[in-house]
Amino acid sequence: MLLHIPELLTREELAHARMLLANADWEDGRVSAGQQAVQVKHNLQLPPTGNTARELAALVQRALARNPLFMSAALPKTVMTPMFNCYQGGMNYGNHVDNAVRHDPLSGQYVRTDVSCTLFFSEPEEYEGGDLVVEDTYGNHRVKLPAGDMILYPSTSLHRVEPVTRGARLGSFMWTQSMVRDDSKRALLFDMDMAIIGLRQRVGECQELVNLTAGYHNLLRQWAEL
């Protein structure tokens, strides 16, 4: 499932994050890459244990926790500490698949990567290139979102970031271990949840809606790993 989550950050949060990123000290992004990814990763990254990265990570984590689309689509068990990167001057990240298991640099916890997310801090007109390209069975999906918006996609997806030829592309990337590890099952539950919400808004409570809600929770009960 590929899902656009608009306005994850408020205007005030976005402005504060951009100010912090503009004054940040960056390092070579390859320090966090796996054995395969290090060959194709060319970007800058904030040291995750630094004060700026910690403040930004806390801001993003609060935004994720209050966002109903993220919660419904990801069904998070554990959200790894968000990290932050910059692409400029031709930097890119070639085709790769995210590591199946990652080590959180702050909590020390190992996280299975079921869901990947990219949160954009730069407006599309502020840079050229830099499209996130996610490949799945339906083809290539090119993603370049407004600042404050986020894209969510399965961590099993082959994906890349195309070269940034003008300006700078600032973003956050993060992984979630879901209660439901299978993407097709998460997609089914998400569709059911959106249908339930839409029906409740249109017709209010009724017995059929109660039955549909029960079906959703019984499927989640069957598939969830806690």
Q: Which residues are annotated as a binding site for 2-oxoglutarate?
A: 169
- Annotate 14-29 with b (16+ C-beta within 10 A) or e (fewer): beebbebbeebebeeb
Residue numbers belonging to the annotated binding site? 96, 98, 159, 169
Cα–Cα distance list, 152 to 8, 39, 108, 134, 156 (Å):
12, 24, 24, 10, 12
Instruction: Show the tokens assigned to 94.
Output: 């070639």
Q: How far is CA 167 from the centre of its chain?
A: 22
Whole-number Å distance between alpha carbons of 26 and 45? 5
Q: Report which secondary-structure segment, H or E, holds 115.
A: strand 115-120
Q: Using DSSP, state whether 140 is helix, strand or coil.
A: strand
> Can you say which residues are annotated as belonging to the binding site for Fe cation?
96, 98, 159
Structure tokens at 184: 């097709």
What's the CA gap between 129 and 198, in Å, rounded? 37
Neighbouring residues of 121: CB distance < 8 A, sequence distance ≥ 6? 14, 17, 18, 21, 147, 148, 170, 171, 172
Neighbouring C-beta atoms of residue 35, cutoff 10 Å: 7
